[in-house]
Amino acid sequence: MFEAAELGHTIDKKTFKAEVQKLREALLEAQFELREKGKFQVIILISGVNGAGKGETINELYGWMDPRYLSTPAFAAPTEEEAAHPFMWRFWQVLPPKGRIGIFSGSWYSMPIHRRITGEIDQALLDQRIEQINRFEGMLANEGALILKFWFHLTKEGQKKRFRALEKDPRTAWRVTKASWDSLKTHDKFQEVASHLLRLTNTPWAPWIVVESADDRYRSLTVGKMVLDALQKRLANPQELEYPVAPPLSRKIDKLDVLTALDLDQALERKVYQLRLARAQGQLSELVRAPEFRKRSLILVFEGADAAGKGGSIRRLVSAIDARQYQIVPIAAPTQEELAQPYLWRFWRHVPKVGRVTIFDRSWYGRVLVERVEGFCSEPDWLRAYAEINDFEHELRGDGAIILKFWLQISKEEQLRRFQERENTAFKRYKITDEDWRNREKWDAYHQAVCDMVERTSTGLIPWTLVEANDKSFARVKVLETVCERLEAALKGK
């Protein structure tokens, strides 16, 4: 895969100087247009062998463009805080917003390569991580991001030569360390792993650009021109790419579905409710304080019809947990900051670390519910979201999270009764809005969206729990007992 990057490309100093002058002007103009339009973000990954000039090239790009609108996250070994979160968490936090350019020195590729070379993971685990990365980059591309991935290549002899040249110059000698020379010992293994990884992640939406790096001027000019060309093409054709992401939805020929099949008349007597509630709260309190939970995290997702009682169920649940151990994340319409990122970004940053509980009062499922029904996103957007959500949740689970999802369902008649009660009760009036009444008019559309959501995202490992919520007592106990049952099984490894 690297033969074409071992041909001896060079650029003389005079040519380089003349080309850079034109390149810089064009890059600044394209960067300004990107910032003014704010339609997409640019993600540039700079990867490759040690000593290939990754840092120098990033510095060149900063010199050629306006550094105020660039960011450069750099990643070494995960910190204690990062290690307590899912693998992708530290990358999610630093994605550039729309209109900006992020240049990643090291990326989500670095750790899998390192761990494969050292033998910490086998080929199967590497391929699993590769598949996860491909899906992540595909989601970013479908959200409109322009992804440019550069791999800087040097032969083993070229790497040695570069280390010697850097050591001779007092201004650059500090860049060469014992670890630099030690990397030569694993050069062949590194190339083998990198070749495999590049082959499997060289996708249409995020292709690799392998750059011969023996000559500094050739390397820097190549990257600069590639960045400019990609920027100009996207700015001239701003229509976002849409890749095939989901099969079409099927329709049932009768009226039986996962919601109509629920028995909404189930109820609990008050004494039974109080006894079972107290017992479940006590069990939950013990489970989240168990030593086994220190290595796991708990994510609870609450969705449901308006006035179905999500808030009441959440309050009974958190009363059993130390307030320092949990966070409730209420989800409303996205802010301008959130709109400048992929739609999952505002949820990524609330993912809990180990030993913690996060409760989402509404969640990422808004993409396939309210955004679908109200037309806030296109059909391709919400269709692909089913697979992206499944990927996101299973990635969290793979990193130790326990995910429980609840849909609280009430009848249309019970919803009307609760709406009217809220309007007629002073301390409940804040709960009812014009939007609630508008949503009620679209009951059938939401009903279908919920059924499609459950069908596409209730997986064997992370199923939906449908809660019959006409009786609040029954719903609250079912939620709590389900949490206890599933959490206990997970902590016991079942």
Kindly list the structural domains of the chain, giving each domain's residue range(s) and its CATH number in brackets, ordered by start: 3-236 (3.40.50.300), 270-491 (3.40.50.300)
Q: DSSP 3-state helix, strand, coil percentages of the chain (rounded to 5)?
A: 55, 10, 35
Contact 23, 228 (CB under 8 A): yes
Q: What is the pLDDT of residues 383-407, one digit of tens each?
A: 989 989 999 999 999 999 999 999 9
Per-residue pLDDT for 248 more than 90?
Answer: no
Q: What is the pLDDT of residue 82?
A: 92
What Å distances lie between residue 15 and 5, 19, 439, CA to CA? 21, 6, 64
* pLDDT confidence tier of residue 1, bands split at 50, 70 and 90: low
Bridge partner residues of 70 (DSSP): 101
Contact 396, 285 (CB under 8 A): no
Cα 47 to Cα 109: distance, rounded to the nearest angstrom: 8
CA atoms within 13 A on the CB side of 89: 20
Element (H, E) at 300: strand 297-304
Per-residue pLDDT for 172 more than 80?
Answer: no
Secondary structure class of 316 (helix, strand, coil): helix
Most confident of 25-29, 82-86, 435-439: 25-29
In one-letter notation, the amino acid at residue 366 is: G
Per-residue pLDDT for 287 more than 90?
Answer: yes
Per-residue pLDDT for 3 more than 80?
Answer: no
Per-residue pLDDT for 429 more than 80?
Answer: no
Residues 6+ apart with CB under 8 A from 171: none
Secondary structure class of 240 (helix, strand, coil): coil
Per-residue pLDDT for 36 more than 90?
Answer: yes
Q: What is the pLDDT of residue 435?
A: 81
Per-residue pLDDT for 244 more than 60?
Answer: no
Average pLDDT of the residues of the chain: 91
Cα 410 to Cα 309: distance, rounded to the nearest angstrom: 9
- Chain-centre distance of CA 381, in angstroms? 16
Q: What are the start-end ranges of the E strands in 368-463? A: 401-409
Q: What is the mean pLDDT of residues 121-143?
A: 92
Q: What is the pLDDT of residue 260?
A: 92
Among the residue ranges 1-10, 26-35, 75-84, 418-427, the one predicted with the least confidence is 1-10
* pLDDT confidence tier of residue 436, bands split at 50, 70 and 90: confident
Per-residue pLDDT for 417 more than 70?
Answer: yes
* pLDDT confidence tier of residue 40, bands split at 50, 70 and 90: very high
Contact 238, 39 (CB under 8 A): yes
Query: H helices within 12-53, ranges in order?
Result: 13-37
Q: What is the pLDDT of residue 482?
A: 98
What Å distances lie between residue 65 and 11, 38, 101, 305, CA to CA? 21, 17, 10, 50
131: its two tokens: 């598949």
Q: What is the pLDDT of residues 145-164, one digit of tens each?
A: 999 999 998 888 888 888 88
Secondary structure class of 250 (helix, strand, coil): coil
Cα 267 to Cα 262: distance, rounded to the nearest angstrom: 13
Contact 98, 40 (CB under 8 A): yes
* pLDDT confidence tier of residue 418, bands split at 50, 70 and 90: very high
* pLDDT confidence tier of residue 254, bands split at 50, 70 and 90: low
